[in-house]
């Protein structure tokens, strides 16, 4: 059953030949765990083999770009889903990390020729993050599922 969401999948893809990386930061663990689980669930629904879903972690979102590049090479991935949760604090730290990480992840896929899905939540509050991980019943769906579907579609449709 397709995930209800803004980026609804357009067909049921067969990901059985794909190797997918999930690289998650370790800040905001409860939300991260839900997002990773949602991405995994969707990947399996789209026939990615469990043994072809490689999961690694980094300390924080700032490490996602560098480690994504290394992970793609280390595991010869067809696509990678970097997952992070950034929540605004009382300083400008949030803005600088969000800007740097989003630009670096976007650029990485052109440099390396492998799709890099944007799985970083940039939230003003903890509640916003929880809602986007499907942790508040009746409020939004788990965005990790969207990212899993996006990873399979992009890798199958657009990878060279
Ligand atoms: O500060 N807040 C956050 C954060 N900071 C750590 C940063 O990503 C990095 O790991 C360190 O600066 C070391 O390089 N990392 C997150 O994923 N979410 C946050 O909300």
Give yes or no for residue 148 having a pLDDT over 50.
Answer: yes
Quote the tokens at residue 35: 């997002």
Q: How confident is the model at residue 3 (pLDDT cuts 50, 70, 90)?
A: very low
pLDDT digits (tens, 9 = 90+) for 25-45: 999 999 999 999 999 999 999
Quote the distance between the C-alpha of residue 34 and its chain's center.
12
pLDDT digits (tens, 9 = 90+) for 76-89: 999 999 999 999 99
Q: Which atom of ligand 1 is nearest to the CA of 26?
A: 17
Give the H or E element holding residue 96: helix 93-112
Q: What ranges make up the beta strands (E) of the chain?
A: 20-25, 53-58, 79-87, 119-123
**What does DSSP assign to residue 116?**
B
pTM over 0.80: yes
Nearest CA to ligand 1 atom 5: 60
Q: How far is the CA of 127 from the centre of ligand 1 (A)?
A: 18
- Catalytic residue numbers read 93
Would you mind telling me the total number of residues written for the chain in this entry? 160
Q: What is the ipTM of this complex?
A: 0.98
Q: How far is the CA of 40 from the centre of ligand 1 (A)?
A: 23
Q: How far is the CA of 100 from the centre of ligand 1 (A)?
A: 12
């Amino acid at each position: 059953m397709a995930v209800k969401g803004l980026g609804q999948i357009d067909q049921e893809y067969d990901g059985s030949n794909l190797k997918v990386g999930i690289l998650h930061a370790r800040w905001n663990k409860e939300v991260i765990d839900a997002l990773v689980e949602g991405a995994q669930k969707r990947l399996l629904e789209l026939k990615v083999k469990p043994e072809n879903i490689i999961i690694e972690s980094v300390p924080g979102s700032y490490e996602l770009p560098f480690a994504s590049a290394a992970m793609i090479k280390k595991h010869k991935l067809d696509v990678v889903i970097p997952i992070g949760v950034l929540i605004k604090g009382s300083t400008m730290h949030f803005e600088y990390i969000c800007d740097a990480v989003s630009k670096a992840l976007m650029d990485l896929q052109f440099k390396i020729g492998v799709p890099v899905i944007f799985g970083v939540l940039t939230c003003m509050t903890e509640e916003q993050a929880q809602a986007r991980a499907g942790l508040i019943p009746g409020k939004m769906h788990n965005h990790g599922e969207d990212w899993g579907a996006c990873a399979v579609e992009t890798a199958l449709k657009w990878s060279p």
